[in-house]
Each structure stands twice: as C-alpha cells, then as structure tokens.
Amino acid sequence: MCGILGIWAGNNAGRAEIAKLPEALKAQNHRGPDHSDYKLYSRLGMGHNRLAVIDTTEGANQPFVSEDERYCLVFNGEIYNYQELKSQLLAEGVSFKTQSDTEVLFHLLAREGKEALSKLNGFFAFAFYDQKRDELLLARDRMGIKPLQIYQDQDKIIFASELKTIFGFEVDKTLNDSALNQYFSLTYFPLGNTVLSNCKELTPGSYMLIKDGNFNHPIQQVYWEPNQQKVSDYEESKKRLNELLNQSVEKRLVSDVPIGSFLSGGLDSSIIATLAKDHKSDLETYSIGFESQFFDESSYAEEVAKKIGSKHYAFRLNQQDFKDNFDEFLDSLSEPFADSSAFAMFLLAKKTSQRLTVCLSGDGADELFAGYRKHRAEYEIRSMNGLKKWMIKAGAGLFRIAPSSRSDKFGDFNRKLQKFRDGLRMDPALRYWEWCCFIEEEDRQNLLVNPVYQGLNPFLHAGEFYDLNDVLEADQRLVLAGDMLKKVDLMSMASALEVRTPFLDHELVEFVNSLPASYKINKSSTKRILRDTFANRLPHSVVHRSKKGFEIPIKEWLNDEIELQLSRHWFSEAYIKDQGIFNPLFIKELKLAWNNPRFGDKIYLVWALLVFQSWWDKQMK
C-alpha cells in the first residue's frame, strides 16, 4: 500500500513542470512513510511513497526500474496471486531478485503489457513506462479500491493517488460545477468526477494508455466487466459462497508485517473476523464505539470477539475526541469528502495503526448482498399492493410536520417514513437517485450560485432498474467506489494503514452478482444468503439484528461548537461573496436556523459546507 505520482509532458512547458515532482511527492508521504523516491526521464517523471508490506527489504523499493532503464513501475496495492504468477514466470525463464509482488507485476507487465491486467487478483493503481516504445500504461483495480486521479491540460498529464499532490504543479483550478452539485447531493464526488474540471479519476476496471502522438486523446479502455456465472440452487450456492469467501480471506492474510481485522459488530466484519481467526490463531480485532448509546454497537463486536477468541481492542469516542481531532481530520482530506462516518474511520485507523500495518474489513457486502435499509425499502415498494401504499401515504402525512433527523429514534423513524412515502411516487431510477442523496434538492439548489443539475448520472448504466440486482450493481459503481472505498482509502492512508477487503475479490463479486435477487433479499431477510451461510458461526444477536449505518452523533457533537465553526471566516459574508460559489443569503439563513428544532438533517449540509470550506481554504486560496 503506497502512493504514486507522475507527470507526462506534452511540450516544453510540461517538461519544465517535471522538476517539481520531488517536492510534490512529499504531499503524500503519509501514504508511504517507509521510503520515497522518484525517477526522471526527458518527458516523464514518476515517484513513489512506500508502505512496506510484502518483502520489506530495500530491494523492493520503488520506482522499480530495469537494469537497462527501459521499464519503470510505480505501484500502489497488493497482488494476491503473485506467487502463482511468479511460478509461471520462473518456468518461462524469468529470474527474480526480491520476494515482492512488485517485481512479479513488473516482469508480467514487461512481457505482456495491458494483457497482464486480466491475470491480476488484487487491488491496485499503477503506472508502467516502456521507454523504448515511449508508452505509459496507467491502470486501476476492478472494483476501485485504490484511487488514481488524472489531471490533463495542454501541457501535461499528471497522475496521483491523491488530489492535493497534483496541486504541487501548475494546474488549472477551475471547479467542475456539475460535480459540485453532486457533492452537495451525495456528500462525495461520484463516478470518476473530481472537484476540478480538468481532473478525473480513472474509473474502476479500466486503463489509460499514453504514448507519442496521442497526448491530447489518450486511449482509455475498460478491461473488466463482471462475467455472468451459472447459478446453482440455493444450498449449492451457499457452499460456493463459503468456499470463495474463505479463499479470499486466506489470500488477504499474506503479509510480512502485523495484520488484524476490523470488527464493528455488524454481520459483515464479524464474518471476516471469524474466517480470519480460522487461519490466524493470534488474530487481533479492532472496533470503534460511541458514548452515545443510539450510535454505539461496540457490545456486539465484543460478543463476537469473545466467541471467536480474538484479542480485541475497543475504542469508544466522545465529544472531546471529536474536538481534539477535528482540525487534524480536516487536514487529512485531500479532496472534499463529507460522509460523516469518515471521522470515525479516521480515528479507528489512527488508533489501529499504532499496533498494526494491515487490517481486513467487511466493506462491500452491503452493495453485493442488499444490506442497506434502502434495499429493504425498495423490495417493499416492489412487493406491496395498492391498499398498503395508500395506508403508508396517509400515515406518513400525519407526521409530515414532525421533526426528522438521523440523531434520535423518533426523528430517524420519521425521516425514513417520509423518504419512503416520497419514493412511492417516483419511478425506480429517480427513487434510486433520491435515496442516495443525503442533502435535499431544495437545499442544494438554494445553496449554489450555479446549481448545475445532473441528477442520475448516465454512467450508472442501470436502465430502468428492472430488478433489485440492477440497484445493487448501480450501488457498486456509485456508492461503493465513490463513497465507501474512497472513505477507507483516504482515512486509513492518513495513518499509513493498509485495509484489505475480502468481499471484493473479483471472483466472489462475479459469483454474487450472478445470483438471483431472491437469494439476497426476501420478505424476512436482507443479505439472506450471507446470513444463512454463516449463521452457525456467529452469535444469534449479530446474525438477526437489523442494519445500522456506520454513522457518528454529528448533531450532538457539533452542537456545542457549531456557532464557533460557523463564525469562522469561511462563512463570513465577505468570504462567501469573494468565492462566488454559494448564495450568501442562504448561508446566513442556515446559520440563523441552527437552533431551530426542525433543522433536522440540514446538519449534513452544514457538515458538507465545513468540509468544503476547509479544503478550499487550504488548496484553492
């Protein structure tokens, strides 16, 4: 797990920028504190920050360069099947100097180029240069676990693991208005978009090829789409799921540094920790909880840890933890990212990294197996008759004026009831988009001076959402890649912690995506096949309790200091007018409305503003 950076010059002005690479590389030292180095060519510079996990010796440092300097590789991630690939290369006469997966990837790319991508099992973002052919290959793993930002103007193409690293060069900082609207809808930038017009994120499962003559229009291709597999009956599918997930966990336990597992107490992380304990007798597990009982789940994690016999570490957060770490958390954000649970992930990674370098997590299961509450709601809407729909509309209408928020039981119930009622009136595609949004359309339209509305992005490819599997596959492209995996990468790498996700092994993803939706959700259960497969391994309380999102008590924690935060110069009328992004009158109304009991989920709009203004002040001033 590392950070990569590079710049390809399209002309003399671009060549002059290459000299800035060594200094720019320092901006992502947190991603790889064990070693940092770079390689410069006449039209290309490539840099690397290393977090040593497999073969920690100096010989495995990067950039990895051939003796004749024809080939150069910078690589972020892990190749789990590197030993198998190495055996094949040895049989073909290739010799090795290290025990690293980096060298295996290097030789495979030197022999096969982009065709090697289909052979890789792992998570990665890398750049591979062939000096003889003057050709640069950029690639990203199938699910988008590792990031790769790509900036382009008339002089240069820059690629990096984090957006703020790109600011080490002379770049156009024009905002992407449409993406900004998406951020103030979803709280993150989805589907390859970034906050800058000239910068995109390479989409999962794709590569970019830059070579002499195609600088202005590099070749970009998708190299992976999930294959449909033959589906067995339910019982046989359970056996296959157990087999694939066991294999995935075992592969992800290979490490030359200490490795453990996150354990939230939810179904997904509990399964991963249980399987990991089968292969690692001295497994350590880590969880984070809250002194606020409404948000705390740590007791379930402790129950699982006791059952499997792991050495468990639980961290309970309170409002003082929030205050003490708030500014450091904001500093860690390379780009605007306002999923509030990122703060909990930031502290969990910070505390866990004091003992470990690598951790397994249960990320991805919700998007694969229909684990979110919106999946349950979608199933109910598709299943219920007209009379029940009418009764829900009428009942929800009675509570229309009552407070709704995520911060207490009644408010959360009413929030979900109102969203469900509104969803009854929408077609499936619009309902999907609105249920993904954390911020109301009226608020985001009033907030932005230029509220360019894009709505349901055409890259979702989900057609009319005929089946619940269409919804899950859309979630994998939108929510998983744009929110969940981005959160884990940003927050874990801020503390140089590598996080591995067994549910996202591409062979497992292909299998699960081929299963009928009825295997995943029915009238009595979400994540049906997952629960049934592992029910005998987990406490009953974990298997059968309902989903609770990984959220923080943001309203409670911000309440005592919200006026302090909103009084920062970021929210002054002069600052807002100078920015030209937000409506000053709406910002003023938002500040005055904070103590109104009907403020509700506008807290997420305030949070998104805080995050954005902090980022803007650091990167755009």
Q: How far apart are CA 204 and CA 481, in angstroms?
A: 8
0.85 surpassed by pTM = yes
pLDDT value for 213: 79
Residue given tokens 């961290």 in the structure block: 315
Stretch 475-491: mean pLDDT: 96
**pLDDT value for 400:** 59
pLDDT of residue 557: 76
Kindly indicate the confidence band of residue 412, based on its pLDDT and cuts at 50, 70 and 90: low
Residue 416, Cβ density class (10 Å: 0-12 exposed, 13-18 middle, ≥19 buried): middle
- Active site residues per annotation: 2
For the chain, the 3-state helix, strand and coil shares in percent, each to the nearest 5, are 50, 15, 35
**Rounded Cα–Cα distance for residues 606 and 602 (Å):** 6
Place of tokens 């829900």: 392
- Is a pLDDT exceeding 90 seen at residue 497? yes
Least confident of 82-86, 160-164, 342-346, 566-570: 566-570
pLDDT digits (tens, 9 = 90+) for 521-568: 999 999 999 999 999 999 999 998 776 655 667 777 776 666 667 777
Tokens of residue 422, six digits: 């509104």
Looking at domain 230-439+451-546, does it have CATH number 3.40.1160.10?
A: no
**Between 319-332 and 341-352, two packed helices, what is the crossing angle to 10 degrees?**
90
Name the H helices within 515-583: 528-534, 540-544, 554-559, 562-566, 573-579
d(CA 494, CA 32): 10
Question: Nearest-CA neighbor of 422 among 454, 444, 400?
Answer: 400
Query: What is the CB neighbour count within 10 angstroms for residue 423?
Result: 19
> 48-62, 236-250, 454-468, 582-596 — which is least confidently predicted?
454-468
CB atoms within 10 A of CB 309: 11
- Please provide the CATH number assigned to the domain covering 2-176+194-222: 3.60.20.10
Task: Report how far residue 108's alpha carbon sits from residue 352's, in angstroms, rounded to the nearest whole number.
Answer: 34
Burial of 462 (0-12, 13-18, 19+ CB in 10 A): buried
Ranges of CATH 3.40.50.620 domains, the chain: 230-439+451-546
Q: Which of 363-377, 482-496, 546-560, 597-611 has the lowest mean pLDDT?
A: 546-560
C-alpha 523/C-alpha 540 separation (Å) is 19
Report, as an integer, the average pLDDT of 296-307: 88
Tell me the pLDDT tens digit for each residue of 132-172. Answer: 999 999 999 999 999 999 999 999 999 999 999 999 999 99
Say yes or no to pLDDT of 216 above 80. Answer: yes
- In the chain, residues under CATH classification 3.60.20.10 are 2-176+194-222
Cα separation, 5 vs 27, in Å, equals 10
DSSP assigned state of 62: S
Q: Over 90: is that where the pLDDT of 445 sits?
A: no
- Could you tell me the pLDDT band of residue 433, with boundaries at 50, 70 and 90? confident
For residue 452, the model assigns a pLDDT of 76
Once rounded to an integer, what is the mean pLDDT over residues 351-360? 96
* Alpha-carbon Rg for the chain in angstroms: 24
pLDDT band at 603 (very low <50, low <70, confident <90, very high): confident
Beta strands across the sheet bearing 498-500: 311-317, 284-290, 259-262, 358-360, 498-500
